[in-house]
Amino acid sequence: MVDRIMKVNAYTTFDLLDGEVEGHGFEEEALAVLNVTAPRKNPDHVELQLEMDNTDLDAVKPHADSVTLSAAQARELAAELEEYAEKVEDAQSE
C-alpha distances out from residue 2 to 10, 17, 23, Å:
17, 15, 23
pLDDT at 1 over 80: no
Sign of CA dihedral 79, 81, 82, 88: positive
Bridge partner list, 51: 33, 64
Tell me what percent of the residues of the chain surpass a pLDDT of 70.
98
Report whether 74 contacts 46 (CB < 8 A): yes
What are the tens digits of pLDDT across the range 14-38? 989 999 999 999 999 999 999 999 9
pLDDT at 2 over 70: no
Report, in this order, helix, strand and coil percent for the chain, each rounded to 5: 30, 35, 35
